[in-house]
Amino acid sequence: MKITGILKQEVEIDASPLTLVKTLIKHYFNVEDYNNIVEKDGYLCYEYDISVHGSPILEYKKITKDPKKIELFKTLIKLLDNIEAME
């Protein structure tokens, strides 16, 4: 037997808005550092510096090409900037 359902739960979180938005970005886009996320060739990418010494040698891991997710990321970054400006 297969059962499919939806569970809804209301949760109260005790954290600053800044922490909440950073955590949302980290987990939604599955990245450790949102500062290394860039837009390249129509993709949202995670930028890595693989150089050992000297000038940076950059590689990119594609996250998504979905325009809605790219727009969501840009909106969340603007929200972060606004929250940081208020603190």
Query: Among residues of the chain, what percentage have pLDDT more than 90?
Result: 47
Given a cut of 80, whether residue 77 has pLDDT beyond it is: yes
The per-residue DSSP string of 10-52 comes to -----S-HHHHHHHHHHHHTT-S-GGGEEEETTEEEEEEE--S
pTM score of the predicted model = 0.74
For 26-46, how does the pLDDT look when each residue is reduced to its tens digit (9 = 90+)? 888 888 888 899 999 999 999
